[in-house]
Amino acid sequence: GELGTALSDLNQGLQLAPPSVELRVARCAVHAALGNDAAATQDCAAALAVEPFNGLALEQRGLLRQRAGDRLGAEADFREAVRYDPGAYQANYYLGLFALQERRPAEAIPPLTAAIDAFPGYGLAYAARGVAYRLTEQWQQALADLEQAVVLVPEDRYNYYELGLVLQNLADLAYEGGNIERAETLYEDAGEAYTTYLNSSPPSSDALTQAQIGLEYVQQALTVIRASN
């Protein structure tokens, strides 16, 4: 396939000239994508032996450590990677994800924003930043990001659950503010988002339970609104 062809080309390039750091980092990434972590680790080590502050090499080593379960080592590499290469979008993504997992959503937003700035089509970063915005109650920003996430990563139905939570909160705020028509539309959209998530046969989890509760809640809210019209 394409990765095999890329690996062959990189192998030839590394034989024809003194091996450059860029070629070693590129081959590291291809080896990693092919699942050959041992060869990828060798290439990363060789690149970093020549250029210890190469942001892309540090990012690749961090990704390998993350995959191997070395969370602390990965985080250290990612922090160094973005220090030397602010556009290292995967490193920024994982730094944001780690902050989210550690319940520091406000701290997750800047690295996730840096990841999106470097790679505007990065659906995973939009999804994670949408959650961070939701947890910091920045509802409009959360809505914008999660709407992007469901377009960019349509196969990840969990994003519809997150979208439902945000739409439900926005609907509640509209209702409390007396904007009943807007609330009705938002409750309808929240119901659709929850239904899309539930129809994907998600595994048993807190999210599944909350989506079922949320769907029932918005249906009751719509019943109340329509009865008063």
Q: Return the higher-pLDDT residue of 50 and 105.
A: 105
Do 50 and 21 touch, CB atoms closer than 8 A? yes
Find the CATH number of the domain harbouring 228.
Answer: 1.20.58.80
Residue 96 lies in a domain: no
pLDDT computed for residue 34 by the predictor: 84
37 lies in which domain range?
1-85
Task: Report pLDDT for 7.
Answer: 47
Give the side-chain half-sphere CA count within 13 A for 63: 25
| Domain membership flag for residue 137 | no
Q: Is 205 left (phi over 0), alpha (psi -120 to 50) or beta?
A: beta
- Tens digit of pLDDT for each residue in 51-73? 899 899 999 999 999 999 999 99
Last residue in a domain, options 53, 85, 117:
85
Domain end (from 36, 59, 85): 85
**What's the rounded Cα separation, in Å, for the pair 115 and 91?**
8
Mean pLDDT lowest among 24-28, 159-163, 181-185: 24-28
Using 50, 70 and 90 to split pLDDT, how confident is the model at 19?
low
Check residue 3 and give its pLDDT. Answer: 56
Last residue of a domain, one of 68, 85, 102: 85
The arithmetic mean of pLDDT across residues 178-187, rounded, is 97
Long-range CB pairs of 76-83 (<8 Å, 24+ gap) are: 80/53, 80/55, 81/55, 81/56, 82/55, 82/111, 82/114, 83/55
* Mean of all residue pLDDT scores within the chain: 90
Rounded to 10 degrees, what is the CA torsion of 100, 101, 102, 104?
A: 10
- State pTM to two decimals: 0.86
Residue with tokens 């470097």: 118
**pLDDT tens digit sequence for 163-175:** 999 999 999 999 9
Token representation of residue 96: 């944001």
Enumerate residues 6+ apart whose C-beta is below 8 A from 117: none
